[in-house]
A and B are shown apart, each in its own frame.
Chain A
Amino acid sequence: MSTIGIPRALFYYYNGDKYVRFWQQVGFDVIVSPPTNRKIMEQGLKLSNTEFCVPVKVLCGHVWYLRDKVDYIFIPRILGGELHGRRRYGCPKFMGLPELVKNTVPDLPPIIAVDVELDPRKLRRAFVTTCKAMGVSKSRVVNALNILLEDEPNPTPRVEGDLILGVVGHPYLLYDEFLSLNLLGKLSDMGVTYVTSADIDHTILDTYIKQDYDVYWLYEREMIGAANYFATNRKFNGIIYCVSFGCGPSSVVSEFMQRIIAKRIPLLMLVLDEHTTEIGLLTRIEAFCDMLKWK
């Protein structure tokens, strides 16, 4: 039986576990690369173009780790699709991810590049054609696809505490402990209650996205919706907004955040890259929390 490698980076943090279950049900062994460590990070930095954002560099590191352990590497191409009357896109880097990786990391096994669209019919067709080329029967794929299509609702998190923060950021940055220098862990250690933008259900977010900043990037519009949710909800004392340096959509969204959201709620914007140090980060979070407590 052949094995498929899924790098633990970028898209993995959106619905990685679904992809893992999907490929297992189709009949492959799945290897997920370990959480980012220094070696993976350094390899990624060495291989990739200096201008990529850190998460993409780290992805290259993960792919490098997997390359001699698996027969295929799964990298979906997130294309977006029609949503609320407008065409939505992934970030250009997400849309060209398979090519980007193929041309950055040398000596790769074949890459499974599936076009992931919002429209379930197109998604199904894309997966069926790709799997057909790999010699998997259609019926098996169609059965397994239900895993990808099911949409389990996120229960709205209940929050209680003295200091409650909303943390806005890409899940692949926030939940990667190495990349975010364990930001979330640090917050818990300080006794802060937090809710991240990924914790809030899509359906709730949709009602908080105003026309002004209904951007066409899939993930960023949810981030700014979450920020608006935190700003509207009286329970929250402040927002920490995490961006990776060089993130294209974020450079636009951060401006909307600072010019619209930050007028209503204290906002700390953290720009993270491979040179960020733990102490610098900690100092800024502590200062921000102290300020909120005095307020």
Chain B
Amino acid sequence: MGNFYIAFETLVRELGITPVVPPRPSRASIEFGISHSPEFICFPFKATLGDLKMALELGANTLVWFEGAWSCRFGYYGRLQHRILKDLGYEFNSLIFSGNPIDAFRDARKALKFDTMRFVKAVRIAYSKSKAVELTEKLALNTRPFELNRGDTTRVERTALQLIRKARTVAEVRYLRGKITEMFKSIPVDKTRNPLKIWLVGEIYMVLEPEANFHIVEYLGEHGVLVRPFTTIHNWTFRSIRAGRYGPEGEAYARELAKPYLPYCLGGEEQLSIGYTIMAKRKGYDGVIHLHPFTCMPENVAYPILQNLSTRYDIPLLSISLDEHTESVGLLTRVEAFLDLLQQRHTNG
């Protein structure tokens, strides 16, 4: 998912295990996922099933899952995918972690036989890399709408991510942080532009995986929109051990804002979708785009609430349900129409 692999690959390698990174989800891998998944399960399940098959074909012999433990379907990804792949005749071991991170760590240590010191060291490097990735993503988001030559930022972002991936020590990553900032500064920009500002909310996989959302973040950026996904891979990965969930734009505050409209967490990002939509209004953003996979349960509950919020508080909202049948042209046409609308509001009001 997204650039998650960079940090996790390092973590696994530092533990003395060879990681296998499958290529990004592609037509072929998604096609495989669809044909072996339950009919109306959510899209992330199908896509990740395809990814796992690619990994197995690249020689992986152990699959590791981290599951959510709430009422959303995410809590059964591991067990179901394990069974599906086994029924297809693949040979592998599996490790399924769910519940709180401390239990997961204890289980992992038992299964993979590493000592705690080594793990701490590995996590330090993974954490610093993940943070560097977050920095790169943020810089890219903030530079892209201002760039003079379309595509510059994306190119720099890719190079930067490759550099981070290759780094081996914490010191090296620290050095890279400075270098990456310089790299982004050297992109020719036009700071006089007054871009539209859009907040991107919805289901985490759909928001953060570019292959699933047809590179919507890059598309928006290159069309002169300052886009802000509601969270980053870094925040999402380390949210259970990190204080980053607090603060004026943190997850905890967003949940607090959403409480009057939806008092309970339903296991997905539905409270965050609602909370960040309200926050977008308060911070003067021009609009909100809500992405979710078809039949996603939590986001479906959030959907009518968001619609009403949008009317009541006058926040332009585009809610898109994505699955394997979505075509990039269809999606981008809708986004383009939405942008036109916002542009008019922006100039008039």
A contacts, CB < 8 Å to B? 48-49, 51-52, 77, 79-80, 89-93, 95-96, 99-100, 103-104, 212, 215-217, 245-249, 251-252, 254-256, 259, 271
Kindly list chain B residues whose C-beta atoms are within 8 Å of the C-beta of A99: 261-263, 301, 305
From A51, A92, A103, A245, give the contact of B305 (CB < 8 A).
Answer: A103
From A48, A93, A215, give the contact of B76 (CB < 8 A).
Answer: A215
Asked if B300 and A51 sit within 8 Å, CB to CB, the answer is yes
Asked if B71 and A216 sit within 8 Å, CB to CB, the answer is yes
**B40 to nearest A CB, angstroms?**
5
Kindly list chain A residues whose C-beta atoms are within 8 Å of the C-beta of B304: 48-49, 100, 103-104
Kindly list chain B residues whose C-beta atoms are within 8 Å of the C-beta of A217: 71
Name A271's closest neighbour in chain B (CB-CB). Answer: B39
Asked if B300 and A52 sit within 8 Å, CB to CB, the answer is yes
Kindly list chain B residues whose C-beta atoms are within 8 Å of the C-beta of A93: 297, 300-301
> Number of contact residues on B: which range applies?
35 or more
Docked Cα-Cα span, A103 to B261, in Å, equals 9
From A96, A212, A246, give the contact of B301 (CB < 8 A).
Answer: A96
Asked if B41 and A91 sit within 8 Å, CB to CB, the answer is no
Kindly list chain A residues whose C-beta atoms are within 8 Å of the C-beta of B42: 248, 251
**B286 to nearest A CB, angstroms?**
23
Name A215's closest neighbour in chain B (CB-CB). Answer: B76
Q: List 20 A-B contacts (CB under 8 A).
A: A49-B300, A49-B303, A51-B295, A89-B267, A91-B71, A92-B267, A92-B297, A95-B264, A96-B266, A99-B263, A100-B305, A103-B308, A215-B76, A216-B71, A246-B40, A248-B295, A248-B297, A251-B42, A254-B38, A259-B83
Docked Cα-Cα span, A215 to B67, in Å, equals 13
Q: Is B294 an interface residue (CB 8 A)?
A: yes
Kindly list chain A residues whose C-beta atoms are within 8 Å of the C-beta of B40: 245-247, 251
Kindly list chain A residues whose C-beta atoms are within 8 Å of the C-beta of B264: 77, 79, 95-96
Docked Cα-Cα span, A104 to B304, in Å, equals 6
Docked Cα-Cα span, A292 to B15, in Å, equals 55
Given contact pairs A77-B264, A245-B40, a sample of 9 additional A-B residue pairs in the complex whose CB atoms are under 8 Å apart: A80-B71, A92-B301, A95-B71, A96-B262, A96-B270, A99-B261, A99-B301, A217-B71, A252-B80
Asked if B87 and A259 sit within 8 Å, CB to CB, the answer is yes
Asked if A252 and B41 sit within 8 Å, CB to CB, the answer is yes
Asked if A216 and B80 sit within 8 Å, CB to CB, the answer is no
Asked if A216 and B75 sit within 8 Å, CB to CB, the answer is yes
Assuming the A-B contacts A51-B295, A96-B264, A216-B75, are A252 and B38 also in contact, with contact meaning beta carbons closer than 8 angstroms in the complex?
A: yes
Kindly list chain B residues whose C-beta atoms are within 8 Å of the C-beta of A100: 301, 304-305
5 interchain residue pairs of minimum CB distance: A89-B71, A96-B301, A103-B304, A92-B266, A248-B297
**A78 to nearest B CB, angstroms?**
10
Asked if B73 and A249 sit within 8 Å, CB to CB, the answer is yes
Name B303's closest neighbour in chain A (CB-CB). Answer: A49
From A49, A51, A251, give the contact of B39 (CB < 8 A).
Answer: A251
From B83, B84, B297, B321, give the contact of A91 (CB < 8 A).
Answer: B297
Docked Cα-Cα span, A96 to B305, in Å, equals 11
Asked if A255 and B38 sit within 8 Å, CB to CB, the answer is yes
Q: Is B307 an interface residue (CB 8 A)?
A: yes
Docked Cα-Cα span, A211 to B44, in Å, equals 25
Kindly list chain B residues whose C-beta atoms are within 8 Å of the C-beta of A271: 39
Q: Is B202 an interface residue (CB 8 A)?
A: no
CB-CB contacts below 8 Å: B239-275 with A: 261-264, 266-268, 270
Q: Is B236 an interface residue (CB 8 A)?
A: no
